[in-house]
Structure 1
């Protein structure tokens, strides 16, 4: 395995970990939100829920950017590999 292959492999592993961590964080926030009714004012609950939706959207955008970055890096290292 070349140094570049190892770097790409490590990048993919980290990308998968990031995706998993973002999904875990979003799930945890949803759990917090579900436990808030009756504890906080309805207006605050709506604001929190809106922020959680925004966080989910941001996480999806970050995953998309991360995947594009991985494809660009891979394409720069292996320009002849049309199958990736």
Structure 2
């Protein structure tokens, strides 16, 4: 029972993070259309959520709990708006 409660909390947490990542991508990438999430996990330094945008696996990213922990492919990096 306790395991199921923790799974529900984890699922809610990852869904919340995915929503934040989607908003971040929509705001910062003018040509953003869709996002596909491929992996989510807790790891020793926090969390990791992997995915790609616009149905193109070359436009991949890995996000942590904080936007400061966001890394992406060179192709995706070129799509971000200039600051």
Superposition TM-score, scaled by structure 2 size: 0.39
Between Structure 1 and Structure 2, the one with more helix by share is 1
Between Structure 1 and Structure 2, the one with more strand by share is 2
Superposition TM-score, scaled by structure 1 size: 0.38
**Relative contact order higher in (CA < 8 Å, ≥ 6 apart):** 1
